[in-house]
Amino acid sequence: MSDFVSTTRHGNVAVVSIDNPPVNALSFHVREPLMQALVYLRDEPSVGAIVIACAGRTFVAGADITEFGKPARQPDLGALVAMLETIAKPTVAAIHGTALGGGLELALGCHFRVADRTARLGLPEVKLGLLPGGGGTVRLPRLVGPLKALSMIVSGTPIGAAEALAAGLVDAVFDGDLTAQAVSFANETAAKGGPFTPVRDRNDRLDQADLPAFDKEAAVLAGKARSLEAPIACAQSVRNALTLPCDEALAAERDLFVKLVAGDQSRAQRHLFFAEREAAKIAGKDVARRKIARVGVIGAGTMGGGIAMAFANGGVPVTLLEATHEALQRGLATINKNYAVSVIRGSLSEDAKRQRLGLFKGSTDYADLADCDLIVEAVFEEMAVKKDVFGRLDAVAKPGTILATNTSYLDVNEIAASTSRPQDLLGMHFFSPANVMKLLEIVRAEKTSPDVLATIVDLARRIGKVPVVVGVCHGFVGNRMLAARGAELETLLLEGAMPRQVDQVFTDFGWPMGPFEMSDLAGLDIGWRNRKARGQTAVIADALCEQGHFGQKTGSGFYRYEGGSRTPLPDPDVEALIRNKAAGRGVAPRAIGAEEIIERTLYPMINEGAKILKEKIAARASDIDVVWVNGYGFPVGKGGPMFWASLEGVDKIIQRLDHWHQQTGKDVFRVAPRLRQMAETGSWDGAAG
């Protein structure tokens, strides 16, 4: 016996219980005693059946990710599952909470699986840049069929117990005392007598496999992988299960796993797994939280409506306030339409839609916000308008209500100072569409109290957002670095690059789209209005806007869009405009390569990240990575800008920034001291690497 694995007898059924908080990861200190316990019980004649169960809030949530990249210690998961399959007496996995990755693979080593009705089962390894390495790609298709296994493994999305029962993944679903019901299930099964067939020997679902249909579906999924290797490896390994003998398929899976786990992409995605959890760890984590039972949202426009949906999707009742009845009805109608679209797409049931809409209360009267515990303002991005709103909120909100502004740029300290309760105010910077985008930049103002901060970080996770706490500065973390990334874009066009060439470099890098296509999607007029308000100019974008070319919404911007389509087409008129503007400035076009485009866009962005760390606007470099991956589509396979900098080579980045600074004299290329320090110490937090 060990602290992590214990066995209890229930008549002739032995229950092996794993207890390795917080998520029963299959660390070495679990695998070793588990192997010993199972070997003993296999050979103990008085044991007629074995149940594997877990203590705590979940079944095994996977292999221990912290062990990856370290020397493997035996027994590994493969050996544990192979031993399990040598057991002739019935083995039953009793699944509650989550059975994920190696946890589900362990369960697939059992003859039977029973689950609690609320359990979720899946193989999410692809989200770590990996594939299941404990036989999941070989055993799962034998139970649920090739296509179901393919979609579960390539998406990495867990399924519920009911769906798992329907798919043949589990044999029974129970409510109440799961272990007791698993023991009686094992008893009845043992009484019926064997032989009990290990999953590896069940080929009926494979024999019916339609390989061309499988390859067609695998090709569609591979097409969505962009530059990620893991989805391709996942599909290949499931295909091996259909075409190779079991042991060969298992060996091939192992080889693919060993290759991926050592690769930069998986290292990057594992970095992000822990970075997201670190980001939610803030100072004063033990302070009491304030209760959030109802949220008020001011403004039912695109942002306000999306924010209200984010709370309703998280089960939080919302009071949505607008200045006029018409505006309120417009906002509620858009919300209704958005949910209807999700129902049509099958990503939401009619019941869930009704339940979420039931959480909304519309109003045009500030007094109706008096019972809210948090009020989020999402009105026009102008300081005077914001101050007017917070002045009125100060009058109606009850003591202890948290006040939040959704500003993207304005000074949160100045807004806070315009109220009598600056300690209760902070920024909640959602990203559009707010009901979809996972990132939430939580802006800590000078006077924001620790319990307000802790309450909002928890609330963010409760509604499925990825919270990152940032300080007050222009553009916070994301938009500030976005400005540095975009500073040279117009100059690159004037000097010879074209929008599609620059965007191609970004999509080759792994971004969903490049900066020019992104500007067209967001609308060029937004940036134009901001520049005019701040007395700034952008030669080409301003010229396009003066001609009424605002992007997709006007059918032309940096690209043209035919018949309302979203497909960007090169526009010879734009290319001519760029040439003219360049000629007008005496700039002769030259060939500009992909490397140079990366150097003049991503390197300044990393440099700005270093300044942000120095100013403590972000607490950790990994927080910056979480912002960029969850808010700006930075490729997960590269781990975020600060992680990628170490892959790219900080010395090289510094050398090239120095080069461009000498060339152009531009401040955006002036190397930040914290970046040089990173090169010397090897770590972003300045401590010697």
Residue 62 near ligand T1G by CB under 6 A? yes
Nearer to ligand T1G, 215 or 278 (CB): 278
Q: Which residues contact 433 (CB under 8 A, 6 or more apart)?
A: 302, 306
- CB of 637 vs ligand T1G, minimal distance in Å: 16
- The footprint of ligand T1G on this chain (CB under 6 A) covers a number of residues equal to 26
Residue 125 near ligand T1G by CB under 6 A? yes
Beta bridge partners, 618, equal 470
Q: Is 125 a catalytic residue?
A: yes
Nearer to ligand T1G, 33 or 124 (CB): 124
Residue 25 near ligand T1G by CB under 6 A? yes
- CB of 273 vs ligand T1G, minimal distance in Å: 7
Cα–Cα–Cα angle for 22, 24, 29, rounded to 5 degrees: 110
CA dihedral for 543, 549, 551, 557, sign (positive or negative): negative
- CB of 487 vs ligand T1G, minimal distance in Å: 36
- CB of 205 vs ligand T1G, minimal distance in Å: 21
Yes or no: say if 316 and 292 are a contact pair by the CB < 8 Å rule. yes
- Tell me whether the omega of the peptide bond preceding residue 604 falls within 30 degrees of 0, making it cis: no
Rounded to the nearest angstrom, the gap between the alpha carbon of residue 130 and the centroid of all alpha carbons in its chain is 16
Nearest residue to 206 via CA among 143, 151, 128, 127? 143
Kindly indicate which of the ranges 37-45, 97-105, 350-358, 417-425 contains the residues binding ligand T1G, using the contact rule CB under 6 A: 97-105
Residue 231 near ligand T1G by CB under 6 A? no
- CB of 291 vs ligand T1G, minimal distance in Å: 21
Residue 22 near ligand T1G by CB under 6 A? yes
Specify the amino acid at residue 165.
L
- Exactly one of 129, 134, 499, 604 binds ligand T1G (CB under 6 A); that residue is 134
Kindly indicate which of the ranges 131-139, 174-182, 239-247, 588-596 contains the residues binding ligand T1G, using the contact rule CB under 6 A: 131-139
- Measured in residues, the chain has a length of 689
Residue 100 near ligand T1G by CB under 6 A? yes
- CB of 584 vs ligand T1G, minimal distance in Å: 55
Written as one string, the DSSP assignment of 85-104 is TT--S-EEEEE-SEEETHHH
Yes or no: say if 339 and 353 are a contact pair by the CB < 8 Å rule. yes
Q: How far is CA 486 from CA 116, 185, 249, 605, 610, in A?
A: 51, 62, 47, 9, 17
- Exactly one of 109, 129, 132, 362 binds ligand T1G (CB under 6 A); that residue is 132
CA dihedral for 319, 324, 326, 330, sign (positive or negative): negative
- Alpha carbon dihedral 412, 416, 418, 424, in 10-degree steps, equals 150
Nearer to ligand T1G, 124 or 471 (CB): 124
Q: Per 3-state DSSP, what percentage of the chain is helix, strand, and coil (rounded to 5)?
A: 55, 10, 35
Kindly indicate which of the ranges 123-131, 177-185, 410-418, 641-649 contains the residues binding ligand T1G, using the contact rule CB under 6 A: 123-131
Residue 133 near ligand T1G by CB under 6 A? yes
Residue 277 near ligand T1G by CB under 6 A? yes
- Exactly one of 85, 105, 377, 503 binds ligand T1G (CB under 6 A); that residue is 105
Residue 101 near ligand T1G by CB under 6 A? yes
Which of the following is catalytic: 32, 44, 85, 125? 125
CA dihedral for 70, 72, 73, 78, sign (positive or negative): positive
Nearer to ligand T1G, 75 or 589 (CB): 75
Kindly indicate which of the ranges 59-67, 110-118, 212-220, 341-349 contains the residues binding ligand T1G, using the contact rule CB under 6 A: 59-67
Specify the amino acid at residue 660.
W
Yes or no: say if 153 and 56 are a contact pair by the CB < 8 Å rule. no
Residue 61 near ligand T1G by CB under 6 A? yes
Residue 630 near ligand T1G by CB under 6 A? no
| CA separation for the pair 324, 3 (Å, rounded) | 63
Q: How far is CA 518 from CA 206, 550, 664, in A?
A: 44, 12, 26
Residue 18 near ligand T1G by CB under 6 A? no
| CA separation for the pair 435, 529 (Å, rounded) | 25
Residue 73 near ligand T1G by CB under 6 A? no
Q: Residues in the site for ligand T1G, rule: CB under 6 A?
A: 22-23, 25, 58, 61-66, 77, 98, 100-102, 105, 124-125, 128, 130, 132-134, 136, 274, 277
Question: Which positions are annotated as active-site residues?
Answer: 105, 125
